Amino acid sequence: MKSGKITPQMHGTAQPQTQDLFKTAASRFGSRFRLPTMDRGLMFALAMAVLAALPVLVAWAPQMTDYPSHLAGYKVALDHGQDPYLTRYFRFNWEWTGNLGVELLMVPMTPIFGLEQAGRIIVALIPFLSVLSVHALCRSLGRKMGVGPILSLAMIWSPSLLMGFVNWSLSVALALFVFAAWVKLEGKPWRWAAMVPASFVVWLSHVSGWGVMGVLIFGYEWSHRKSWRDWRPFLKPWPLIFPLLPMLMGMGSNSKVSYGRWVLDYKWSILYKSMRSFDYTFDIASLWIVLGVLGGALALRKIDGRFGWAALILFVLTLIVPRQIFGGDYADYRLSTMALMVACLAIDWNLPRWAVRGATALFVARTLVTTAVWYQDAQTARELIAALDKVPEGARVATAVAIPRSQWRFGPFEHFGSYAVVRRSAMENSNFALPDVHMLSMRDLSYRFADPTQRILYSPQQHIDLRTFPPARHADYLWYIGTIKPVALPDGARVLYSSSNSFLARLADPADLANQGDGR
């Protein structure tokens, strides 16, 4: 009998047929649209990149030496005359110069995230991108993330990044990406069209990063020369030279060049301090480990010349480049760590897994040390910045920071006074605001009120007397930061706030002191 109903027998035969139909369709779909699986090398690189950004993620603000002053400069640059106090105290002269990496990123990001959060995001991106740039280089050269490239990651949290040279550090990451693209596009007739704008991007971030990019690409091309008389490696990087045009035109250039004092002692110090961070023993031991692996690779000729020549050139430049150039300090110190990093990238040594794990452990350990120190410093910074609750908008603040003459770690609070500009639009004396050196400058040039007037260098057993501290003569408040307590304050100063290693004092008006002296 015919019926529209399905009998139990019919149901039992229909279900397996339906399942087979779905299986067939799924297999056909999977064969046509197979989802790519993420390779283990990229997963490892992403994990290391997130780890590299961990110090910034655990601290409410980057605990770099120079960072607060950079943040103050960003605030004035992006204010555009809206804040009457900032307009009264500062001027900012935008220039197209080879030192604008973070400044340009802050322009679109500050309206979205706010000034302080935008700066924090950008700083977190720098080590994150640095790790990925190393991975991109290995991919373009057909190499795995072996011992050498992993050891190079230990140089990402370099002395330069810890001091707060954010434009330089960003430019290095971008330079490595451009170098990877140069290799990947080898043989493409249109490579030059991609490299011309890329070279300007790196140069705008920082001129020294552009120089490092040129060295890397020249070293790569030099390793492919046919003979010592082959001149083509000198001409192949021609798409990178166009940023020379604005430099020759004098755009944003600064002619100040200086080797400083005691040149030989200083050059030696930047070599053995190339992995300097927070602990002398740990940092020197890390350096010896890296040098030991490098020495073994050199002895066994396990060096990739595509990086090796660039590492050698960067080392020579470390010795001959002046300390101060283009208005920036530690130009050669930046190169010492960069030379070590590129030398590690040159290691092409197929070592056992335990060696790879050991190299990874060194990077992880150094990053975790930085993370722990930044977390502790951030807690101290919260105590320090609470002093600004006592400071009115637009006040004049003289910051005094006591700094030991001899210390291994970089002091995170040397420019902390610049938060008075960030949070209170104050006039403050630790900013990078020197005419003809920085884009930020003071409107009143009748007295010096910029970095390094906040520094008070002291030796053991030395007393700090603030009665004659010059910036206090032109301020309403004195903000002192240091673990050693001063023996005297300016006459009439009244402490409004104090913490374990700081205090904020209201300074007496000179007219009131004069009246007291007259007995009125």
The answer on pLDDT for 228 being more than 90 is no
pLDDT in tens, 370-400: 999 999 999 999 999 999 999 999 999 999 9
Q: Is 165 in a helix, a strand, or coil?
A: coil
**Residue 35 φ/ψ region, left for φ over 0, alpha for ψ in the -120 to 50 degree band, beta for the rest:** beta
Give the least confident one: 214-223, 258-267, 390-399.
Answer: 258-267
Residue 160 CB neighbour total at 10 angstroms? 22
Give the least confident one: 103-117, 179-193, 243-257.
Answer: 243-257
Q: State the helix-helix crossing angle for 263-272 and 305-320, rounded to 10 degrees.
A: 150
pLDDT for residue 511:
53
The answer on pLDDT for 11 being more than 50 is no
Residue among 376, 352, 404, 372 nearest 282 (CA): 372
The answer on pLDDT for 520 being more than 70 is no
pLDDT in tens, 440-470: 999 988 778 999 999 999 998 899 999 999 9
Q: What are phi and psi of 476, to 5 degrees?
A: -95, -25
The answer on pLDDT for 37 being more than 80 is no
pLDDT for residue 285:
97
Assign 3-class secondary structure to 429-494. CCCCCCCCCCCEEECCCCCCCCCCCCEEEECCCCCCEHHHCHHHHHCCEEEEECCCCCCECCCCCE
Residue 228 is encoded by which pair of tokens? Answer: 């010592």
pLDDT in tens, 319-337: 999 988 866 788 899 999 9
Tracing tokens 């910029």 back to the chain, one arrives at 450
Angstrom distance (rounded) from CA 84 to CA 359: 53
Averaged pLDDT, 214-222: 95
pLDDT for residue 22:
47
Angstrom distance (rounded) from CA 177 to CA 168: 14
The percentage of the chain sitting over the pLDDT mark of 70, rounded to a whole number, equals 89
- Domain boundaries of the chain, sorted by first residue: 95-351, 378-517
The answer on pLDDT for 130 being more than 50 is yes
Angstrom distance (rounded) from CA 117 to CA 80: 20
Q: Is the dihedral of CA 423, 426, 432, 433 positive or negative?
A: positive
Averaged pLDDT, 166-181: 97
Residue 44 is encoded by which pair of tokens? Answer: 């490892």
